């Protein structure tokens, strides 16, 4: 799979680093398909980086590679209020989108996608500091100021900094598979990515890492997803009232217990659909959904697909299944 990351002067080094880490590192020895990853620029050569320490990039590739790419990444630039990318960049992104490539913007890279017309009539996000400006400048875009990332069709926009990691891992999940995303996350010493609907204003870097007093409970539930969990049973296990537990959970993990549990169960079901030949009913039971119908509902809600369609696309071959077993 070919991945083009477009840079220009005053590109943000963190978001660029996210793209390089997720898509540029060869993890084929660990079962992750290797990406043909290239950093490209409108004019190859020196590209200034937005960093007070002062350094630049020597970019070898021009925009021609964008026309071949399956994934196009647009990281953040310093001044999102101005048209930092020229018409050649906008045209290249528009062509890639028109032929069905995945488009991923990181942080204020969403402004570039908006200027290319990719976000009109859809939902998108960017860093919360710039969300109001984006909504004012692009009224045809439904800006979600309180989301970590948003997928609309084959376009994914992310919030700032850590949200870029979540969005990139989400793209790997939907384009390659949950197992590959988990392998990449482990290599980055990261827990699985947060759900896109979690608040940008959360005070910690990654949801599971922020589980402080609730960390033992979170670990236990993650290992026992097949059990029937409720606010009452979880609160009792945490030795809290239901009201205190719900408030503490939201403070520490940035989402509700029900939303967190559903996302963990979807991810577990993805892994089972990829790596086993269990029936849909058996997958639903092991992941904690109880019935295949309920699992199908959550797959549609979280992934915009069905468990059967997901398995057909991502299940490994029979020899690999036998080696997993």
| Domains in the chain: boundaries | 2-187, 211-325
Q: What would the CATH number be for the domain defined by 2-187?
A: 3.40.50.880
The pLDDT of residue 208 is 41
Cα–Cα distance between 48 and 220 in angstroms, integer? 47
Cα–Cα distance between 117 and 111 in angstroms, integer? 10
The pLDDT of residue 9 is 86
Q: Given 3-state DSSP classes, what are the helix, strand and coil percentages for the chain, each rounded to the nearest 5?
A: 50, 15, 40
The CA-based angle 319-322-325, given to 5 degrees, is: 155
The pLDDT of residue 62 is 96
The pLDDT of residue 186 is 82
Local structure of residue 73 (DSSP, 8 states):
E
The pLDDT of residue 54 is 76
The pLDDT of residue 313 is 78
Q: Report which of 190, 140, 138, 197 is spatially closest to residue 169, judged by C-alpha positions.
A: 190
Task: State the average pLDDT for the chain.
Answer: 86
- Domain 2-187 and domain 211-325 have a common topology: no
Cα–Cα distance between 234 and 304 in angstroms, integer? 29
The pLDDT of residue 325 is 29
* 76, 160 Cβ separation under 8 angstroms: yes
Q: SS3 of 36, please?
A: strand
* 37, 3 Cβ separation under 8 angstroms: yes
Low-confidence residues of the chain: pLDDT under 50? 81, 199-210, 318-325
Q: Which CATH superfamily is domain 211-325 in?
A: Homeodomain-like (1.10.10.60)
Local structure of residue 200 (DSSP, 8 states):
T
The pLDDT of residue 194 is 59
């Amino acid at each position: 799979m070919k991945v083009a990351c477009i840079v220009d002067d005053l590109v943000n080094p963190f978001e660029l680093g996210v793209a390089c880490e997720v898509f540029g590192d060869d993890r084929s020895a660990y079962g992750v398909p290797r990406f043909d990853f290239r950093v490209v620029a409108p004019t190859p050569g020196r590209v200034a980086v937005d960093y007070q320490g002062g350094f630049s990039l020597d970019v070898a590739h021009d925009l021609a590679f964008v026309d071949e790419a399956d994934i196009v990444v647009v990281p953040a630039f310093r001044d999102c209020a101005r048209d930092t990318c020229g018409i050649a960049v906008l045209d290249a992104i528009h062509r890639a989108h028109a032929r069905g490539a995945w488009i991923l913007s990181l942080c204020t890279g969403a402004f570039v996608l908006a200027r290319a017309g990719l976000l009109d009539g859809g939902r998108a996000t960017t860093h919360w500091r710039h969300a109001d400006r984006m909504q004012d400048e692009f009224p045809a875009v439904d800006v979600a100021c309180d989301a970590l990332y948003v997928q609309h069709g084959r376009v994914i926009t992310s919030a700032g900094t850590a949200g870029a990691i979540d969005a990139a891992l989400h793209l790997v999940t939907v384009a390659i598979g949950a197992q590959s995303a988990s392998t990449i996350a482990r290599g980055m010493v990261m827990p699985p990515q947060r759900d896109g609907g979690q608040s940008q204003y959360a005070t910690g870097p990654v949801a599971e890492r922020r589980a402080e007093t609730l960390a033992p409970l979170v670990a236990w539930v993650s290992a026992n997803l097949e059990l029937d969990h409720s606010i009452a049973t979880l609160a009792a296990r945490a030795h809290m009232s239901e009201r205190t537990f719900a408030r503490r959970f939201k403070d520490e993990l940035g989402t509700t217990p029900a939303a967190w549990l559903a996302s963990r169960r979807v991810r577990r079901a993805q892994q089972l659909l990829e790596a086993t030949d269990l029936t849909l009913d058996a997958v639903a039971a092991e992941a904690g959904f109880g019935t295949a119908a309920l699992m199908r509902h959550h797959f549609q809600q979280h992934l915009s697909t069905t468990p059967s369609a997901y398995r057909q696309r991502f299940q490994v071959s029979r020899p690999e299944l036998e080696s997993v077993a």
